[in-house]
Amino acid sequence: MIPVGVLNRVRASIKFTDHSELNVSASFLAKEGVELIFQGNMTDFLPAMTGAVQSPQPYMIMQAKVHLLRSQALGAQYKAQWEANTAIGDAKVYSDSSTFGDFTVLNTAITNVQDMSFAGGEPGVAITITGTYYINSEMWDL
């Protein structure tokens, strides 16, 4: 039998190169944690007369949806940041699996804040951070 491995719920986090005050660890996250959303295809298939031509993309737009707790000061820090300047530089997103690995995202910005309820029953706010994620690195080996 092949071992299935282990996920570490408290490993998910985000660290910023230029804005360490915005670093997020598990202690600042709501139960939903961090989600990654990739936009577009990693490779496009372009129709030809008798088949398809592959056209790998050099990058993707990647979004990290961070479910912060509004009940902590870091939530207020993010609010102050989006009110001042949504551009927040390069980041590294750590997944819940050291085996799977992490994601380096460049030129990030706060691009969305989801609706919030102030009725005392929802502790989190979902903040979307968007940036460039480089892929297909071998395509540069000319």
Specify the pLDDT at position 60: 98
Q: Please give the average pLDDT of every successive group of 10 residues along the chain, which has 142 residues.
A: 92 97 97 96 98 98 98 97 98 95 98 93 95 96 85
Quote the CA–CA distance of 24 and 13 in Å, as a whole number.
5
**3-state SS of the chain?**
CCCCCCCCCCCCEEEECCCHHHCECHHHEEEEEEEEEEECCCEEEEECCCCEEEEECCEEEEEEEEEEECCCHHHHHHHHHHHHCCEEEEEEEECCCCCCCCEEEEEEEEEEECCCCCCCCCCEEEEEEEEEEECCHHHHCC
Specify the pLDDT at position 142: 79
Q: Which positions ≥6 away from 1 have C-beta within 8 Å?
A: none
Task: Indicate the pTM of the whole model.
Answer: 0.91
